[in-house]
Amino acid sequence: MKNTVIPQGSVTVGGKVYTLTQGQAQIGSLLFDFKCKQPEEGFYDWTVTLHNTGEETSAPVTDLYGLKLFFPLKESDSFIYHGLKGDSCSLESYEPETVLLKSGDSLTKEPVGARSSNTTAFPYFDFAMENCSIVCGIGWSGQWKMTAARSAEGVTVTAGQRDLNTVLYPEESIRSVRILLWAGEEDTLHARQKFVSCHRRYASPFATRGADYACPIATQAFDRYFWNAKAEEGKAPYFETEEAQVRICHSVGQCEYFNMHWVDACWFRDTFRSGVGNYETYSTGFPNGLKPISDAAHQNGLKFIVWFEPVRAVEGSEAWNRFKDNPKQLIRLPGEGSALMNLGDGEVWQWVYSHIVSVMEENGIDCYREDFNIEPLDYLISIEEENRKGMAQMRFTEGIYKLWDALSAHFPGLFIDNCASGGRLLDVETCSRGFSLWQSDTACAREANGIPTAMIQQNQNLALSRYIPHHQGSTFYTDAYTVRSSATYGIACEFAFIDDDFDVSAAKAAVAEVKRMSRYWKGDFTPLTEFDKKTDSYAAYALTLSEQEGMIAVFRRPDAAENIFALHLSDMDQAATYRITCVDEDRREKMMTLSGADFENLEVCIEKAPGSMLLFWEKI
């Protein structure tokens, strides 16, 4: 198979199925516009829009698949699906899945609750066939569905918004899911590397900010101090005060390489969880708003990022009181303590947008952090109209994109952090607009189910790096093993910033190493171990910037008995000479010079468990 495909989708109009290809086509009163970009060979980016150009309501539109491809196969040919589970804030978050499809088999994937990477599915995957690999990402921050069905003739793959069955009113438009796809005669590893490289360069914030954009090395003290905070009657806990936040800024000002100060969900009246939906009034600990904190951050060379949650409101909040009389604007379900702010409604959207802009402008906020702690599917289904199934979901999802795009237009160069109870909204559309600084809520604590968070983040980094161009973890600790386990392009540091014994030198050493590692994450990612939930194993990966330089990280987990890990590298020039700088768990450096043949099978010795080793290499 050649390393090209013919981008295709399909739609059913009035019960008849139509194949959609690049360009425009008129089907009755519906104008289909199939826009596809191919910035380089083998890589495609496309979306289909439908517009009712007639003066009457259209025939029913169902099964709008942005992706519908057929791969002809002989019965003896293999067809293997590789994908990930979604984020479930557990040891299983992003766990890889592999399915061999035989004739008669069908595989369907969709997330939970209309958050695109929630629990059961992840909107990136790949297919391995004879002499061909297809890597695909879906852009739909709602309830998508992908089906791969194999017959005697081959495999049909479809992807679209689930359960769309609607008429279109005159002049009304809808859209399909967005598709990123790479196809070529590569093995699975190299196909994924090419997909991620293209995703980064053409469909991510790096496309506009440049490959060398410095991702956040941020203070994030919320989870360390907020959850168990205690306060005197009538006073906010110390962490939730202007004094504490300003103190953090001055503490990190003593450390090099921090570049962002992060205020999470504690700044508004009644704070998290009781105050979501408040924008105009602040928590009692911030009588002057957030401007003094912004000023302190900027004085210490830090950008200022603040948490918002525009999709949710609790009873008694400003958003609740404004829209409570319209059940299609503030959508409530029996027994649920939170309501969904319907961003598909123009009045709701404008109110939310205006309040976010006001808070950001008044407080000198540089970066927008969005959280999304509600599953919108059942809420949106509850307000569907007859003959308009899926339209409430469609408009709500478009409202998310419209909000991010409008904020970016109002604040040119705006940094957007995409969070949804961790990493439950990671898809092509969100990853093209924003960064993921909090890849899972497993990072909210030092361990989960008795397993150290550091080990969990090793697995998450091994899995997410298959497909998406940016993701970051966090750490409570400054030791090398924990920091290296969590660090990617940057890191969120939950250090003891406001404790009297805050160790500036340890924090400085930790973030200096993150800064050193970060540049290599723009290279090709190669897993040297698999996703593994065992505590007695190793984890390792390699990052290759070019044929001339790269980095390797090796982690000996707490119960691993052996102190030796053999690298078994590939793609090295066996006849060349390499200079390798090894940095051990105590951050002591040792340099060696090896031939490519010796380097490929180098045995790395890690004396401590848990412990780690970094190897920075260059070809000489």
Segment 563-589, tens digit of pLDDT: 999 999 988 999 999 999 999 999 999
Distances (CA, A) of 595 to 150, 551, 558, 579, 618: 47, 16, 32, 9, 12
| 232 pLDDT more than 80 | no
- State the pLDDT confidence band at 448, using cuts at 50, 70 and 90: confident
Count the Cβ atoms, other than its own, within 10 Å of residue 329. Answer: 22
Q: If we measure between CA atoms, which residue out of 558, 611, 562, 557 comes closest to residue 583?
A: 611
Query: What is Dmax (Cα atoms) for the chain?
Result: 75
In this structure, the strands spanning 338-341 and 312-314 are antiparallel
pLDDT at residue 450, as a whole number: 87
Query: Is 92 in contact with 85 (CB distance < 8 Å)?
Result: yes
pLDDT at residue 1, as a whole number: 45
In this structure, the strands spanning 43-52 and 178-184 are antiparallel
Query: Is 155 in contact with 79 (CB distance < 8 Å)?
Result: yes
Segment 287-303, tens digit of pLDDT: 999 999 999 999 999 99
Segment 291-345, tens digit of pLDDT: 999 999 999 999 999 999 999 999 999 999 999 999 999 999 999 999 999 999 9
Residues of the chain with pLDDT > 70, as a percent, come to 99
Tokens of 357: 């802009």
Mean of pLDDT values over 121-146:
97
| 244 pLDDT more than 60 | yes
Segment 181-199, tens digit of pLDDT: 999 999 999 999 999 999 9
pLDDT at residue 4, as a whole number: 64
Please, what are the domains in the chain?
9-203 (2.70.98.60), 212-438 (3.20.20.70), 525-619 (2.60.40.1180)
For the chain, state the CA radius of gyration. Answer: 25
Mean of pLDDT values over 236-262:
96
Q: Tell me the backbone φ, ψ of residue 359, rounded to 5 degrees.
A: -65, -40
Segment 545-559, tens digit of pLDDT: 999 999 999 999 999
Mean pLDDT of the chain: 96
What HEC string does 304-315 produce? Answer: EEEEECCCEEEC
| 3 pLDDT more than 80 | no
| 473 pLDDT more than 60 | yes
Burial class (CB in 10 A: 0-12, 13-18, 19+), 583: buried
Segment 107-128, tens digit of pLDDT: 999 999 999 999 999 999 999 9
